[in-house]
Structure 1
């Protein structure tokens, strides 16, 4: 299963301040997975006509 880090480094979009955290996500019409629109890698991955779901990554903070 592909992970977001397999797609390369994060690609930031324009800053946007939605009123609700849920406004950052949409549900992929192909695989049904929530897509974080703040991460262009995820958006581009889910725009492919045939794709698998992305495996969640554990983010560690130092």
Structure 2
């Protein structure tokens, strides 16, 4: 399993519909830990899909 301190390199993704008008639409708030999740970064999405996970370190998270 990936360590919290080393999630690896960013895995960028693209929206099928193109970029939204509002940058905030690229983020959702995790229901487990309350941290913003950038849906364009697959490693963040996968991390936050794990039950009972801890928040990622702030330097690894792009905030809206």
TM bin, normalised by shorter chain, reads: 0.7 to 0.9
- Give RMSD over aligned pairs: 1.9
- Segments of structure 1 that go 5 or more residues without pairing to the other structure are none
Q: What number of residue pairs does the alignment pair up?
A: 56
Specify the alignment match of 1:47 in structure 2: 49
Q: Relative CO higher for 1 or 2, CA cutoff 8 Å, sep ≥ 6?
A: 1
Q: CA deviation at 1:14?
A: 2.2
Structure 1's consecutive aligned runs of 4 or more residues displaced over 4 angstroms after TM superposition are none
Q: Normalising by structure 2, what TM-score?
A: 0.76
Q: Normalising by structure 1, what TM-score?
A: 0.78
Q: CA deviation at 1:12?
A: 1.5
- Segments of structure 2 that go 5 or more residues without pairing to the other structure are none
Deviations 1:22-50 (A, max 9, x none): 00100001111100111110000000011
- Structure 1 residues 3-42: aligned runs within 5 Å: 3=5, 6-15=6-15, 16-42=18-44
